[in-house]
Amino acid sequence: MTKPRILSGMQPTGQLHLGNLEGALRNWVRLQEEYDSFFCIVDWHSLTTLYDKPEEMRENTRQVAIDFLSAGLDPDRCAIFVQSHVKEHAELHLLLSMITPVPWLERVPTYKEKLENLHIESPSYGLLGYPVLQAADILIYKANVVPVGKDQLPHLELTREICRRFNFIYGDTFPEPEAKLTEYAVVPGLDGRKMSKSYDNAIYISDTAEVTAQKVRSMFTDPLKIYRKDPGHPETCPVFALHSVYNKDQTGEIEQDCRAGALGCVDCKKRLTARMNEALTPIRDRRAQLEENPGELDEILTAGAEKARKVAADTMAEVRAAMKLE
């Protein structure tokens, strides 16, 4: 039986951190066994903010690809490729933009958030049309499933609306992609907020064991636990939250000792560091191998783009025929 197809991607806005690893990449690694999988580094999307930094974007793209592979994505089980290496994405984006009403785009929550958070006074067409390109990324592979968190459902619903509009005008061409709701691990940053590059509170996949240990030592802890023997409140402590990701088999003991004042914050951080570094060692080893062999990365991305391009070209032939453009 043919496996259902899945598509997901990430922007190369910087190196990936543990929030990306535990929140998405671990899930992708599992999904590649169940689906015909396409995982894309969406470099054109990052041009909405990095349009004037081409060298930075190029290096970020390679680093994200290395992180994908280091986390366990297998090029023999999935296609790993760079969006701009498959030009058909741009053609479908152009054609879909002709049938997408502007009010649909203006109501997208993240568009308004970016305008406010980045203080953008004169937004580009690319920023407004970002969801159309996102729809093209999904539809060009006729993805049956897209893994998303609940906060991303409005984006996928817009893709489904564009899909329905195209099929209504030109005939059934695309399947409507379904959301695969995933429970993303909430990974706190060094300051207790959600781990994010923009907050400068991240532990990166590429960080060494020493850098990771240094960052964990600097983490905020329970503000009410002043002395070692004071009772702790693990439910408010980001260090304990990371224990529940990397040290699940000991969280009950750690919680009990913390509440009883039998475990100090320094020792708690040392235990976390040991388990984190143990879990990250194979990923770091694979990263080092890929860094030392850039030709291997090039071959993987080339092969991934060829696989993706074949599917995308077949889809575009159908689209052009449906639109009477051939």
DSSP sequence for 211-260: HHHHHHHT----TT--STTSPP-GGG-HHHHHHHHH-GGGHHHHHHHHHT
Task: Based on the residue annotation, tell me whether 194 is a catalytic residue of this protein.
Answer: yes
What is the distance between the alpha carbons of residues 4 and 35, in angstroms, rounded to a whole number?
5
Which member of 180, 197, 269, 270 is catalytic?
197
Closest among 225, 172, 238 to 199, alpha carbons compared: 238
234 contacts 240 by C-beta, under 8 angstroms: yes
**Catalytic residue list contains 114:** yes
210 three-class SS: helix
Number of CB atoms found within 10 A of residue 211's CB? 12
Q: In the chain, what's the furthest Cα-to-Cα distance?
A: 76
Sheet holding 145-148, edge to edge: 78-82, 36-41, 5-10, 145-148, 178-181
Angle CA(85)–CA(90)–CA(91) in degrees, nearest 5? Answer: 120
**Is the Cβ–Cβ distance between 147 and 28 less than 8 Å?**
yes
Confirm whether 269 is a catalytic residue: no
Catalytic residue of the set 3, 53, 114, 307: 114
Q: Residue 80: in which H helix or E strand, if any? A: strand 78-82
Nearest to 65 by CA among 50, 82, 51: 82
Give the count of beta carbons closer than 10 Å to the beta carbon of residue 114.
17
Cβ atoms of residues 71 and 26 within 8 Å: yes
Catalytic residue selected from 87, 194, 248, 307: 194
Q: Which of the residues are catalytic?
A: 114, 194, 197
